[in-house]
Amino acid sequence: MPVNPLDQTPGKPLLSLVVPFYNESSAVAYFFQRIAPVLAALDRFDCEIVCVNDGSTDDTLALLIAAADQDRRIKVIDLSRNFGKEAALTAGLNESLGDAVIPIDADLQDPPELIPRLIEQWQNGYEVVLAKRINRDTDSYMKRKTASLFYRLYNAVSDIKLPENVGDFRLIDRQVLESLKQLPENRRFMKGLFAWVGYKTATVEYAREARSAGESKFSGWRLWNFALEGITSFSTVPLRWWTYFGSAISLFAFIYGLVIIFKTLIHGIDMPGYASILTVVLFLGGIQLIGIGVLGEYMGRTYLESKGRPIYLVRRRYQKIKN
């Protein structure tokens, strides 16, 4: 476990905020400005802010270091390159020391003012407190619909159910975090991992806000790949689907063959139907290629996991030890 330089007050629980940053230079100052009064009101807690710079190419790192120089509660973890949000979030969780840990995005679409309500539920005995979005009007129509479709599809094929409209913003107890650290996956779908570990869970609802600054780093293509990652991480149902589909096609072909034999015996040989043959061949060829692609997704994941590479690499850590 990382060393704690905070001179934590005896008897006070420590709250850790975990914040991934990737090219968020326009949001850094506002983030700390808005988070400061929230933490100041938590006088019964010591706090730390674990900021993970995920290979930013703008001046995000410089701004984070400057903030850490002014406030020793801020810890900056600079990754060696851009490993992606899931890896950055994992790095922040591994570096956090808190009795309770709250991941939150730098864009502040998830309001930090909700943190006291999360803590209240934690103090009531819940080990996981989810923040559920009840209003996503700040997201585009397409994003809302595709998100809804993903949750329905994922929960239909996976034994581990995801609570709908719940992101990474949540509170987790130290015991839950230690359980997460035991999960060795390299290709990580954190929403699924959070759900997999379980524990006693409460939900707090809120309305999602617009981004404080900058633009989303998730394009439609990246969101599609993210959804595919989630489904293949926690379900083998797509493999079973293609087994059933292939069996159904084979049964149909067998029945159709019997029909052709019967027609030939009764009516003689029909004129060859080149168009229908070409259509059937192309259809079955496409089905086979899709099936190979589904199988390839799982084999690719197995190949990448078998390498045993670390999830991320830390280039350097920054934190002011004394005021």
Angular region, 23: left φ>0, alpha ψ -120 to 50, beta rest: left
Residues 250, 116 share a domain: no
59 plus 27 within the same structural domain: yes
Q: Is residue 232 part of a domain?
A: no
* 172 shares a domain with 279: no
Residue 4 counted as domain residue = no
Q: Is residue 8 part of a domain?
A: no
172 falls within a domain: yes
Whole-number Å distance between alpha carbons of 206 and 110: 8
Q: By C-alpha distance, which of 198, 110, 125 is closest to 162?
A: 198
Specify whether 202 is located in the same domain as 284. no
| Domain match, 293 and 207 both | no
The verdict on residue 80 lying in a domain is yes
Together in a domain, 213 and 273: no
**Alpha carbon distance 45, 101 (integer Å):** 12
Instruction: Tell me the pTM.
Output: 0.67
Q: How do 314-318 and 201-207 pair as beta strands?
A: unpaired
- Pairwise CA distance, residues 248 & 246, whole Å: 5
107 in a domain, yes or no?
Answer: yes
Residue 227, domain member (yes or no): no
Predicted confidence at residue 189, as pLDDT, reads 78
Residues 273, 164 within the same domain? no
Same domain, 22 and 169: yes
pLDDT at 1: 45
List the domain range (segments joined by +) for residue 266: 237-306
Q: Are residues 57 and 150 in the same domain?
A: yes
- Say what the pLDDT of residue 52 is: 92
The reported pLDDT for the residue numbered 199 is 86
Number of folded domains that form the chain: 2
What pLDDT is stored for residue 143 in this prediction? Answer: 64
Strands (E), the chain: 14-21, 46-53, 74-79, 100-103, 128-135, 166-173, 201-207, 314-318
Q: What is the pLDDT along the chain (323 residues), one digit of tens a residue?
A: 454 555 556 667 889 999 999 888 888 888 888 888 888 888 888 889 999 998 888 888 888 988 888 888 889 999 998 888 888 888 999 999 888 999 988 888 888 888 888 988 888 888 989 888 887 665 666 666 666 676 676 666 666 777 777 878 889 899 889 988 888 777 777 887 888 888 888 888 887 765 545 455 444 555 555 556 656 666 666 666 666 676 676 667 667 666 666 766 676 655 555 545 656 676 677 677 777 777 777 777 776 677 777 888 989 888 876 55
Looking at the structure, do residues 118 and 25 belong to the same domain, yes or no?
Answer: yes
Answer whether residue 225 is part of any domain: no
Quote the radius of gyration of the chain (alpha carbons, Å). 25
The per-residue pLDDT for 278 is 55
- Say whether both 200 and 267 belong to one domain: no
Residue 53: predicted pLDDT:
92
Shared domain for 272 and 128, answered yes or no, is no
State residue 137's pLDDT score: 61
Contacts of 258 (CB under 8 A, 6+ apart): none
CA dist., res. 58 & res. 23, Å (int): 6
CATH number for position 119: 3.90.550.10
